[in-house]
Each structure stands twice: as structure tokens, then as C-alpha cells.
Structure 1
């Protein structure tokens, strides 16, 4: 029994020693949802900025305002450079499972990629570029749904058009007139659908 008592004294002695160390730590750290104790530096008044301005936040850069239209959509009034992409059209699907692409730049140059063939390049006339831009900037085009709304066509093609920040996904048999106008203005009516 003496041995058992000695073990208990050692075991509980360690527990009391751990508690004696832990209690002051908890008292200093605080419990619950209180914050750390205030220090004179934390209660000192902050430096004030000149009247009418707010002090800048450390390490932050203010974001430029995002231009939006009356309908809440993002508007981009930036006049693009001639080599920037005016529109990109990707087509995939069909029986052969094609994945082709057409990229048109603001200067009228375009590149068509079809399967594993070498890219083909060309140039639209100024009038053709103007017609394509007018079709893409038509308010009716902004109302075209961004996802297909009709019944899918078996083994049909899916088209993904990207103009500035707007992406429109459409499929065969699902082209409202405003979207058809865009396709009619594209070189060769859009990217090739052959493998």
C-alpha cells in the first residue's frame, strides 16, 4: 500500500505542478472572447490626416472603379489596340469530335486553327471589321442568352464566343438573329467544323 500511495503522490504531484504552471498562463492570456489587455500604445490616439482626406491603409492599393451600365453589366470603354483580340470563337462536337478555333483581332487579322493542321491566317477588310464590330456591339447581341436555350442537336456543334468580358455559348439550331448576324460577319462564317 505504501508503494501505491507513493505512486499516487507522484502522479497527483505532477498534476498539481502542471496546474500551477497553467493557471498563471491562462490568467495572463485571458479567457472567453475578451481581447488582449490594452497597452498604452493601443490606447494612444491615432495620427490624424489633414481635413477632408482619410489616412491610406497600409499595404493596400485602391482598386479603380469598375464601369457599369444601367443594367449592372460591366462596361469597357477602353479603346483596344489593333492587335488585341476582337472576338474568339471555339467550336467543338460533331461526329468527329472537332475542336477548332477562330481568333479575329481589331486590325482585321485572323487565325483559324483546325485540328492538327497548321494555322491559317487572313485579313478582313476595314468594312468587314466594321460590320463585325457593329454586330458584337449591337444592344440586341447583349440580350442573347449566354447558354443554349433550345433542344440539343444530336452530334451537333457547340460554339463558344468570347468578346471582351462576355462569353456566349450556343449550339446548332440555337441562334437568335443578333447572334446569326455575328456569325455572318465572321470570316468564313466562323471556325471550320471539319476535323
Structure 2
């Protein structure tokens, strides 16, 4: 009997506190949050977890990368005597952006024929057979190239560039992978 009165008293206090605050009573089907996790139930915030990309779109400003097409290929170049880390992104429509260190990005557009040549080099069955990793060790002060096409990453260096990869490099904007600091 003491247990029943105590439980009733606790429920009454919770209800009174909830009415005073204007929130939920704390009683009912809500599940308490896991330790360290977000609260659950109707009072939980609706913000996405940290690191989740936002789905809100904002008008583009000239300084933002707002490509009108899907990424066709991405080439990242690391190394060299100057220790560069450059990134080239080419889109299906031929637009491209190069980021080199802290310098402002360079942008441009390939002609339809140049874009077609790049697509042909990437879709060549010989390119599909290019090993994903170089066979030998890295060359001292040489460049490493990370080429991503259709979710496949190919890593190459200055000493190990098969002919099919050289054809892809020759079809890239500005004469090949961005190696200048």
C-alpha cells in the first residue's frame, strides 16, 4: 500500500511540474534517451546529427562551387619538391575547377570535343584494367596521383603510369594533372 501511494504521489508531482512548465508529463510511451544520445519523443530537437550534410539550399554566390552537372572525374596530386596538394574536378558538362594550396580556385570549361575525349579515355576498357595501386615504391620527391572515376580510386606515381592512365591525363584540362604549387 505504501508503494501505491508513493507511485501516485510521484505521478501527481510529475503532472503538476509538466503543467507548470507547459511540457510533456514524462509519463507515457516515451523512451528515455540512451546515455550520451539525443533525447527522444516529441520534445527532441529535429536537428540532424553532427557531420550530416544539410539539405537546405541557398542561392549561389560567385565564390561557391555550384556545378551544374555530376562529377565526371576527380584528380588529387600530392608530393613533388614543393609538397603540393592540388585537386582537379571535372564535371560531365566539361566545367572544371582546380584548387592549388591557398590560391583562389581556377575554373574553366572544356569544349564538347575535349569532354568527349576525356569520357572516352575514362570509359576505355584498358583504363578499367589499370591497377588500383602502383606496383613499385614511391619515387622520392615525385608526385602521387589519386584518380577517382565512378567510385573507383586509382593511385599512381611518376614512375608507374600505364598507357591508359596517360591517355586520361592527356585529356584533362590545362594539359594534365595540376602539379604546380
Q: TM-score range by the shorter chain?
A: 0.5 to 0.7
Residue 94 of structure 1, CA deviation: 1.0
**Alignment coverage as a number of residue pairs:** 115
RMSD: 1.4
Check whether the contact 1:112–1:191 (CA below 8 A) recurs between aligned residues. Answer: no
Residue 150 of structure 1, CA deviation: 3.0
Match of 1:176 among 136, 140, 162: 162
- Residue 131 of structure 1: aligned partner: 117
Q: Secondary structure at the match of 2:74?
A: strand
Check whether the contact 1:160–1:167 (CA below 8 A) recurs between aligned residues. Answer: yes
Show structure 1 runs of 5+ residues with no match: 1-80
Show structure 2 runs of 5+ residues with no match: 1-66
Q: For the pair shown, which has the larger CA radius of gyration, 1 or 2?
A: 1
Q: How does 1:1-195 map to 2 (within 5 A)?
A: 83-195=69-181
Q: Separation in 1 of the partners of 2:102 and 2:176?
A: 18
TM-score, reference length from structure 1: 0.57
CA offsets per residue over residues 15-73 of structure 1, 9 Å max, x none?
Answer: xxxxxxxxxxxxxxxxxxxxxxxxxxxxxxxxxxxxxxxxxxxxxxxxxxxxxxxxxxx
Q: Secondary structure at the match of 1:116?
A: coil
Residue 154 of structure 1, CA deviation: 1.0
TM-score, reference length from structure 2: 0.61
Bigger helix fraction: 1
Q: Separation in 2 of the partners of 1:189 and 1:90?
A: 15
